[in-house]
Amino acid sequence: MVRLKSAKSQPDTLEQRFELDETFLSSPDTAALKSAVIRATDRRSGDPVVLKYWKKAGTAVDEDFRELWRHEMRQSERVRAFPHADEVVVEVLASGESDDAFYITMPSDIAPLEHASRFVRPDHWLRVLQGPRQRALLWANIRRLAEALGAVHAQGLVHGRIDARAVYSTGATTMPDFRLGGFEFCLRVAEIAKAPLRVIAKSRPVGSVIFSFLDDWRALGRVVTDLIGLDADKLDEEEIQFIERRAKIDLRASEIDLVRLLFEPERNRILDAATVTSRIDAILNELDVEAFADNGRYVLALRLGQMSRLSVTLNAASGDAFDTDDAESQIDFVHADLETGATLTRTARGDILLMTESLVYDLQPLRFAGVDETWNVASCNSARFRNEIYLGRRETIDLPAHRIEIVRFAAAPRRLNELRTDALDWSATFDMTPDGDPTLPVRRGLLLAQIAEALFKAAEIAPVELVNQRRQGNKRIAEIAASDSENRIRLSQALSVDDPHKLMRRLFDREEADVDAEWQLTEAAALGMTVRAAANVRFIRPVQKKNRRLYEFEILDGVVPPNAQLHLRKVDETGAEQVLRRRLRMLMTLSTQSELAHMLGDPRRRLRTYQDEPLVEDDHFGKLDESKQEALRSIWSTGPAQLVVGPPGVGKTRLVTELVRRVLAGVPTIRLLLSAQAHQALDHLAASVQKMLKNTGLADDVILVRSKADNGADLSGAQTPDRAKSYLKELQDSPLLRRAPRAIQQSLSEMISAADVTGNLRAKLSLTTLRQRRSFEALVLQSANVLFSTTNSADLARLIEDGAQFDWTIVEEAAKATGPELLAPQLLSMRRLLIGDHNQLPPFDTDRIAEFLQDQTRVKRALAESDLLIGNIFRDFGLDDLKEAIEDDSVLSETCASARRMLLLFESLVTNELDRQKRSDQRRRRVATELLQQHRMHPVIATVISECFYEGTLKTPADREAEFYSEQPPFTITDARLPSSPIVFIDLPYVQREGSAGEQRPIYHNPAELQAVLSLLGMLRAAPTKPTEPSTLAVLSPYNEQVERLGRAIDDSLQSRLGNIVDFKPGTNSPGFASTVDSFQGSEADVVIVSLVRNNDHIGRAALGILRDRRRMNVLLSRAKWKLIIVGSMEFLRVQGRRYRRHHKEDRTVPAFLAKMSEVFDRLAEEMLPDGKTPKFKMVPYSLLTTDAQP
C-alpha cells in the first residue's frame, strides 16, 4: 500500500506564519487571479520580507492559484540562472503553502513600482524627469528591465504581463534599481501545450492572452510612457502628446524614437534586448553630455571652527596664514587648493576622497537633523596631507574645480533645497568598483587556483637544446639536452619543482614518464603559444656523450624547428589548453552570475525553502535507508545548493536515480543536467538512470542524451550521434517528410545516409552534409531534458554561450573536481546538487598546488614569472589585474586563502557546513548531509573502512549484514592455503629482515608481491549466484609500474595457469583485471586483491610514499564487496604506524590511520564469523604460498 506523507510540517494560516503590514503594496483581485503584495515579518525568523501571495478561495479556483504559483517558481528559477539576470530580476527567498494561501517571499527593501512611484519624495527623480540626469536614471532603469526581458526571451519565455505591478524598486534616488518580477503568467513558447493556459486565460479579457515577444516590448513601452506621462495612443502623431495634468518634458529625438520603436518595431528588423539596450546606451550618452553642460554642481560643506580637525589641517597647510576661526579665509584657501587640480577618488574600502596636489579631503554624505542622509551634498570634517597617506588601489575621476561649490556646513540644508536637482550626487560619479564587490575574493581565488594549476603544468614543459640530428636506418633521431633558462629556474624555485635538468632526469633517466607517450619538440615555450613548427617525437634512451647527458628521441613526423633552443612537451597539451580556455571563459561568465559567486563563498548566504511541491514519502521513499531519506528531504526542500557526502558503498547513485525519478514523474518537461569530472563515473550514472527510466515507464517521456561517452560504455543509443540517428530514422518514416519540399527531402536523405557513417569515413562526407549533421546533433543536445556531460566538456561551454538553462544540475564525484572544473555545470542551473566524498581521491595534483598556495611569498614570486609561460592564455582574463591587486599584502593573503578553498571547493564547502551543524541547532536548514549506511562491502571490510577513515560512523544496515552472512559468495576458493575470511593479509617479510621482498625501481614495483598475486589468482574460481550478474574481480595497486607488470603477467597467463579466472568479469569497463587506485574509484568487485608494493628500510615520507595518503588508502581498501586480499609486509606497516601514532589523525600529511588499521586487524583476527570457526581477519605468511597447493 502506498504511504503518502508530506515532508513539510502541518500547514497553518498565512497570518500565523507572517505578521502582515496594514497596507498593501499591491492589492489582490481574485476575479482576475491576481496576487497580493504586502510587507510582512516572518514570525519564525523575525526577518522582514515582502510577501506575495494568492489567497485561497476554498473552491476549484484554488487549483488555478496553485498552477500560477508553481509556474512562477519554475520560470523565475530558469530566468535568474541566465547571465546578469540575478542582478535585474527579483530574488525569491522562499515559497510555501499555508491553509489559506500560496506565497513567495522577496527581499524587504523592494516594492512594486505602482506603489513606490506614489510615495517618493517630491525631489525624487521620478517626479522631476525634466532634468537630463533624472532621465538618465529613468533610462538606466529601463535598460535593466530590457536586460531582464532579454533573459526571459532567451529561455523561450514570453513574460505576458509587464506593468507597474511586475516592476519592483527600492526607491533609490541616485542609482538604477528596477527589477522584473511577476513570472506567474510566463509562457514557454515551445511548451504552450504544457503551460497553465486555462488559468492564464481567466486573468485576461477575451482574446488578450499574450504569446508574442513583441507584445512584451510594447508592454515595456507602456511602462515608459506611464512614467514620462506620454499619451501612448497618440505616438504616431507628428507631435507627441502628454497626458492631461502631466508636466511636459523636452524629450530628445532619440528618446521619442525608442518609445515609438517599442510600440511599433521597424519592418524587417529584429526587436530584442540587444537592440533596445544599444538604443538606450546612445540615449544615455546624449543625456550625459547634456547633464555635464547644465547648471549642476557638486556642493561641498566644510565643518570649520576652532574645534574642527579640518580647520587645524588647513591652518597648518597654509603655513599659519589664518586663524582656525577665520572661516572665510579657510574657504578661500580650499578654493585655491582645488584650482591646482581636483580628483575624486574611491578607495578599495569604498571611502570617497577629494584629492589635490597637497591635501586629501575626507568626504561623507550630509547628515543633518531633519534632512535624510544624502550624497547630493558632501560634508568634510577632516583632511590629511597627501604625502602622508598611501591609498593603494583606487578609482579616480578628475573634477573641474568650477563645478564645486563650497559652503559652510550650517548652510548646507538651505543650499540643497535651493539647488534641488542641480545638486549633483558625489557617489553617483562612480560605478560599483570591483573592490566593493563581495564576490571578488571568490573570483580572484578561482583565478589564482587556475593560474597555479597552469603554472605547474607549464613547469612540465622542458626547455631543451637540440644537440644533433641523424639518421639511423629508416628512423630520424634527435639528440637533445636540458637547457638553462633563468625564467624557468626562478619559476621552479617558486613552485618547488624540478629545474629543467632535474625534470629531464626524473622523466627519462628514472623512467617516470609514460613509456609510450608522444612528445613534441617545438619553439613554443608557454601554454597558449602558437605552434608554427613542431616535430612529434618518441623517447628512446638516455646517453652520455662528452660528459654530457643527452636524450635520444625518434622523430615520428613533422619538422624539427631550426632553432637550437626548443621545448619538449607532451602532445596532449593542446587539448589541455583548450580545456583551460573554456574554464577561463566560465570564470568570466561567473562575473555575470553573482548568485552563484555568493553561493561559492557561503552556501548559506541565500538559502531558499522550496515548498511548492512537497516531498511525497511513498513506497519508493520507504525503500531508502534512513540517511538517504534525510538527504532527500534536505535536497527537495532547501536550495539553491545542496551537498551530499557519500562514503564508499553508501549508494550515491541510488539517491540520484530516485531524485531524477521524482523530478521527472512530477514534470516530464523539466530539464536536468547530470555531470561528473570523469567519463567512467558519468557513464555508470547514465546507465543507472537509463535503466531506472525504462523500469518506471518514464523513458518515452524524456529525451536522454549522453554528450560523449567512454569507449565500451553501454548506454544503449544515448550518445548524441545515436540519438540524432534515431530521430532522423523516425523522420524518414513520417508523413511530414513526404510532404516536405524536394530540397528538404534531399538534404534529410543525405543526413540520414550520413548518420550510418562512422570513424575515418566521415572525412569523405561533403562539407554541407557534415555541417547539417553537426547542426542536427547540436539541436538534439539543446533539446535534451536529461543530459549527461562531463564538467570539462565543450558541450557545456557551448550550452552556456547559447544561454541554455536547466532546472537541476547534479554533479557526481564532485570532490574529484576542482572549483574551476565545477563552474560550468553550476552556471547552467539555479538548483544544484553536488555529491562526493572528500575522504577519497582529491582532484589530480592538488596536494602540491594547495601547499604552494599556503606560501604567499612563493605565490608572489611565481606570478612575477608567469607572463612568459601562461600570459598568452591568462592575459585577457585578469592576470595583470590580479598581479596588481596582490601588491597589497592583505589582498594577497585573502586571495591565497580563497584560492585554497576554491581549489578543493567541495571539501571546503562540506567541512565548513558539517562543522557548523555540530555547533548549532540541528533544526536549522541543512546545506550538507552525510550518507552513513553502506551496502557494498562485507560488514567486516566495512568495519575497517569505518574505523580507520570515518571515525566509526559508517554502518551496515542489519538486513544487508544478514545477507552477507547467510548467502554464498559469488566465487569459490580452490586452495586451502587461501582462508575464507573476508579479509586476508598475505604477509611478506619486512625488508630489514629479508631483502628479497622489497620494492624495486622503476618507481615502484615489487616482484615478490607480483608472484604472490599470481598465486592467489590461481586459487579463485567464479561462481555467480545470479545468472544476470557475473562474478567480478579486480587487482589494484597504488603504483602504475606495478599495475602494468601485473596486467602483462595476468594476460600472459590467462591461457595457461590462470585459465580459472576467465569467467570473472573485470570491475570496470577496462579490458584487464589490473587497475590503479585512481582509475578504479567509483567501481567495485566481488574480490579485490591489493598489492601495496612498499617495503623498505627508509624513514619518514620516503618510506611510505603514496601509502601515506589516507584518501588513496581509503579508496584502495573499500572496493571489495565480498573479499579483500592485501599483499604487503605487515611488520613494515606496523613500524610505520608506530612512528605516527601520536600525530593528529586529521592531518593528511601524517598516516596516523596505519596504527588504527593495525589495531582493527588485530581485533578482527580474534573475532569469528557467525559460523563460529572462521576468523574475520586472517594473516597468511608469504612462504605458505610457495608451498604445494592444498585442496
b/e for 371-403, b at 16 or more Cβ within 10 A? eeebbbbbbbbbbeeeeeeeeeebbeeebeeee
Query: Per-residue confidence at 1148, pLDDT binned at 50, 70, 90?
Result: low
Residue 1065 lies in a domain: yes
Query: In the listed set 293, 325, 354, which residue is the last one of a domain according to the structure?
Result: 293
pLDDT at 667 over 90: no
Residue 1020 CA to residue 553 CA, distance in Å, equals: 44
Query: Per-residue confidence at 772, pLDDT binned at 50, 70, 90?
Result: confident
Which amino acid, residue 380? Answer: C
Residue 785 CA to residue 704 CA, distance in Å, equals: 7
Query: Per-residue confidence at 506, pLDDT binned at 50, 70, 90?
Result: confident
**Same domain flag for 126 and 256:** yes
Residue 521 lies in a domain: no
Which amino acid, residue 315? Answer: N
Residue 813 CA to residue 682 CA, distance in Å, equals: 9
pLDDT digits (tens, 9 = 90+) for 78-110: 788 888 888 899 988 888 889 898 898 999 999
- List Cβ neighbours of 695 (8 Å cut-off, separation of 6 or more): none
Residue 149 CA to residue 272 CA, distance in Å, equals: 9
Instruction: Classify residue 431 by burial, with Cβ atoms within 10 Å: 0-12, 13-18, 19+.
Output: exposed
Which amino acid, residue 163? Answer: D
Q: Torsion angle of alpha carbons 254, 256, 262, 267, nearest 10°?
A: -70
Positive or negative torsion for Cα 1145, 1151, 1155, 1159: positive
Which pLDDT value is given to residue 293?
64
Q: Tell me which of 1114 and 200 has the higher pLDDT.
A: 1114
**Cβ(1129)–Cβ(988) below 8 Å:** yes
Residue 970 lies in a domain: yes
Residue 218 CA to residue 938 CA, distance in Å, equals: 67
**Same domain flag for 149 and 221:** yes
pLDDT at 416 over 80: yes
Instruction: Classify residue 41 by burial, with Cβ atoms within 10 Å: 0-12, 13-18, 19+.
Output: middle
pTM score, whole prediction:
0.83
The conformation of residue 1062, written as its DSSP 8-state character, comes to: T
**Same domain flag for 129 and 179:** yes
**Same domain flag for 158 and 110:** yes
Please tell me whether residue 170 adopts helix, strand or coil conformation: coil
**Same domain flag for 145 and 262:** yes
The conformation of residue 597, written as its DSSP 8-state character, comes to: H
Residue 585 lies in a domain: no
Closest CA to 335 of 427, 407, 419: 407
**Same domain flag for 319 and 416:** yes
Which pLDDT value is given to residue 729?
84
Residue 305 lies in a domain: yes
**Same domain flag for 264 and 320:** no
**Same domain flag for 96 and 67:** yes
Closest CA to 177 of 151, 217, 148, 219: 148
Which pLDDT value is given to residue 435?
47
Task: Provide φ and ψ at 1093, rounded to 5°.
Answer: 75, -55
Query: Per-residue confidence at 10, pLDDT binned at 50, 70, 90?
Result: low
Task: Provide the grid cell at 96.
Answer: 510555501
Query: In the listed set 423, 440, 455, which residue is the last one of a domain according to the structure?
Result: 423
Task: Provide the grid cell at 1105.
Answer: 610514499
Hey, how many other C-beta atoms are within 10 angstroms of the C-beta on 831?
21
Query: Per-residue confidence at 124, pLDDT binned at 50, 70, 90?
Result: confident
**Same domain flag for 1072 and 1099:** yes
Instruction: Classify residue 734 by burial, with Cβ atoms within 10 Å: 0-12, 13-18, 19+.
Output: exposed
Which pLDDT value is given to residue 901?
97
Which pLDDT value is given to residue 1068?
84
**Same domain flag for 317 and 276:** no
Please tell me whether residue 488 adopts helix, strand or coil conformation: helix
Location of C-alpha cell 573634477: 399
- List Cβ neighbours of 254 (8 Å cut-off, separation of 6 or more): 279, 282, 283, 286
- Cα–Cα distance list, 73 to 38, 68, 266, 593, 614 (Å): 18, 9, 35, 19, 13
Beta strands 48-55; 36-42: pairing state: antiparallel
Closest CA to 811 of 795, 794, 829: 829
pLDDT digits (tens, 9 = 90+) for 352-401: 999 998 999 999 999 877 667 888 899 999 999 988 887 766 778 888 88
Q: Specify the CATH number for the domain of residue 991.
A: 3.40.50.300
Task: Provide the grid cell at 1034.
Answer: 579486480
Residue 720 lies in a domain: no
Residue 556 CA to residue 535 CA, distance in Å, equals: 7
CA-based angle 540:541:546, to the nearest 5?
130
pLDDT at 767 over 90: no
pLDDT digits (tens, 9 = 90+) for 608-648: 888 777 899 999 999 999 999 999 999 999 989 999 999 99
Which pLDDT value is given to residue 434?
43
Task: Provide the grid cell at 490.
Answer: 626562478
Positive or negative torsion for Cα 720, 692, 711, 836: positive
Query: Per-residue confidence at 160, pLDDT binned at 50, 70, 90?
Result: confident
- Cα–Cα distance list, 627 to 238, 624, 956 (Å): 71, 8, 12
Which amino acid, residue 702? Answer: V
**At 23, which helix (H) or strand (E)?**
strand 18-26
**Same domain flag for 1132 and 1165:** yes
pLDDT digits (tens, 9 = 90+) for 775-797: 888 888 888 899 999 999 999 99
Strand boundaries in 308-370, DSSP class E: 342-347, 352-355, 359-368
Task: Provide the grid cell at 948.
Answer: 580507520
Which amino acid, residue 233? Answer: D
Task: Provide the grid cell at 259.
Answer: 518609445
pLDDT digits (tens, 9 = 90+) for 333-350: 999 999 988 999 988 777
pLDDT digits (tens, 9 = 90+) for 237-270: 888 899 988 888 989 999 999 999 999 988 777 8
The conformation of residue 626, written as its DSSP 8-state character, comes to: H
Please tell me whether residue 1078 adopts helix, strand or coil conformation: helix
Which pLDDT value is given to residue 433?
41
Residue 622 CA to residue 253 CA, distance in Å, equals: 68
Residue 40 lies in a domain: yes
Q: Tell me which of 409 and 1141 has the higher pLDDT.
A: 409
Which pLDDT value is given to residue 2?
37
- Give the residue-averaged pLDDT of 1067-1085: 88
Please tell me whether residue 279 adopts helix, strand or coil conformation: helix
Residue 289 CA to residue 833 CA, distance in Å, equals: 49
The region, left, alpha or beta by phi > 0 then psi within -120 to 50, assigned to residue 980 is: alpha
Q: How many alpha carbons fall within 13 Å on the CB side of residue 848?
A: 13
- Give the residue-averaged pLDDT of 727-744: 85
Hey, how many other C-beta atoms are within 10 angstroms of the C-beta on 30?
14
Closest CA to 152 of 122, 115, 183, 109: 183
Task: Provide the grid cell at 182.
Answer: 511577476
Least confident of 535-549, 945-959, 1097-1111: 1097-1111
Residue 478 CA to residue 476 CA, distance in Å, equals: 7
Q: Count of domains in the chain?
A: 3
Which amino acid, residue 430? Answer: F
Residue 917 CA to residue 921 CA, distance in Å, equals: 7
Residue 429 CA to residue 446 CA, distance in Å, equals: 30
pLDDT at 7 over 90: no
- Give the residue-averaged pLDDT of 524-534: 81
Which pLDDT value is given to residue 808?
95
**Same domain flag for 950 and 1073:** yes
Residue 579 CA to residue 453 CA, distance in Å, equals: 12
Which pLDDT value is given to residue 709?
60
* Highest mean predicted confidence (pLDDT) among 413-422, 441-450, 566-575: 441-450
- List Cβ neighbours of 939 (8 Å cut-off, separation of 6 or more): 956, 960, 961, 964, 965
Q: Specify the CATH number for the domain of residue 138.
A: 1.10.510.10
Which pLDDT value is given to residue 11?
59
Residue 1023 CA to residue 673 CA, distance in Å, equals: 39
Query: In the listed set 259, 274, 293, which residue is the last one of a domain according to the structure?
Result: 293
* Highest mean predicted confidence (pLDDT) among 232-236, 899-903, 1093-1097: 899-903
**Please, what is the average pLDDT of the chain?**
87
Residue 931 CA to residue 953 CA, distance in Å, equals: 10
pLDDT digits (tens, 9 = 90+) for 186-245: 665 544 444 454 444 444 444 444 568 898 999 999 999 999 999 998 888 888 899 988
- Cα–Cα distance list, 683 to 656, 787, 789 (Å): 14, 12, 9
Residue 196 lies in a domain: yes
Residue 684 CA to residue 679 CA, distance in Å, equals: 9
Range of the domain at 1074: 939-1185
